[in-house]
Amino acid sequence: MKKILVVGDFMVRSGVTHFIFNSFGNLDPHKYKIDVVNVSGKNECQQKLDDLGWHQYMIRPANQKLLMHLKDWFLFLKANASNYDAIHFNYSAMWNFLPILFAKLFGIKQIVIHSHNTYFGTDGSATKLKILTRLHNLGKAIICNWVATDFLAVSEQAAKWLFTAKIINKNAYRIVNNGIDLDKYKFDVHARQRVRTQLNLNSKKVYGHVGVFEKRKNHRFLIETFNHIQIQEPNAVLMLIGEGVLQDKIKAQVHNLGLDEKVLFMGRRNDLNRLYSAMDALIFPSLHEGLSTVFVEAQDSGLPIFISAEIPLGNYLKDLVVPISLTKNASQWAACILKHPGNPNRLEQTKQLKKNGYGFGAAIRVLEKVYQD
């Protein structure tokens, strides 16, 4: 039996967490023993971990007290590394590379680096980003050249972000799509009718957005775009799903534009499959993004998705995903969205996603290949 440590944030609405549960959670438990390292400081998934029989180790988050975070890693790996054959780092950037060095220092033989983003996972000042960029580039050079044994990424762009040119040019990495439960998120006309009736949306054109209220999600621009949409499409409403530090500022923006009756703040939800079915389109003007699980879920529901052209497309269903450059203003975004015909065949998408490798099975097969080699 191979014993693997999986590093992640283990938060309920985290795409990385969903990937871990959907992929590692479906590996043969007779062949693989999984334990996890939680680096978020939040214990939101304990019941799920208990159900899977995975032990959870807690590390203080790097964005609060970096020295304590590194101390926790050093002491944890010193005490426990000998119990594991492999460690799987799910990372957005390489600036925090010392824990990976510690894993090698204390003897873990297989060190897997898995890129989930195309930029830093947090926002910050210009000075902070400059420092992070230098550390990121240093970490890439050290880890890719001398430490890691295997390289995975959610997209080609994510691979280029986290790995060195040598790894990219040698094609020494594997792409792992963010597999989801395709049956769960496929379009459900009955759920659509129920949700729209409950929310009094039966006569509405429902646009949606799913994501934490942070700068990188670009909510302010989203609201500006929707304001232009609703002027030309009076029956339009916008459903915002998520929470975050900028939520109050966005609520103030909505109020100042007189959109209180047209913008629904739904909070954190665990019924996204139903809400996708109730929507007519998704708007995602993010400044940067990994290969979001939300995109795959929404495609499974047959939703047209209007995204920043700067976001990596990955293996999307190109007829559903409409990239629009952030160099265009909100009025131009609205015009692009309004002229889209929509998708009348929402039940046809699931089989295409299966063909493109977005079910559980494809990701599981890649992981089995990595850990059997």
For 263-276, write each residue's pLDDT tens digit: 999 999 989 999 99
Mean of pLDDT over the chain: 93
Helices (H), 148-199: 156-162, 165-169, 182-185, 189-198
Report the C-alpha gap between 40 and 30 in whole angstroms. Answer: 29
What is the average per-residue pLDDT within 272-284?
A: 97
For 200-220, write each residue's pLDDT tens digit: 999 999 999 999 999 989 999
SS3 11: coil
* Whether residue 174 has pLDDT greater than 60: yes
Q: Tell the burial category of 313 from Cβ atoms under 10 Å away from its Cβ (0-12, 13-18, 19+).
A: middle
Could you state, in order of their start, the residue ranges of all structural domains in the chain? 2-179+359-372, 182-355
Against a cut of 0.75, is the pTM above it? yes
Domains 2-179+359-372 and 182-355 share a fold: yes
CATH of domain 182-355: 3.40.50.2000
Q: Tell the burial category of 360 from Cβ atoms under 10 Å away from its Cβ (0-12, 13-18, 19+).
A: middle
For 332-357, write each residue's pLDDT tens digit: 999 999 999 888 889 888 888 888 88
The architecture (CATH level 2) of 2-179+359-372 comes to 3-Layer(aba) Sandwich (3.40)
* Whether residue 135 has pLDDT greater than 70: yes
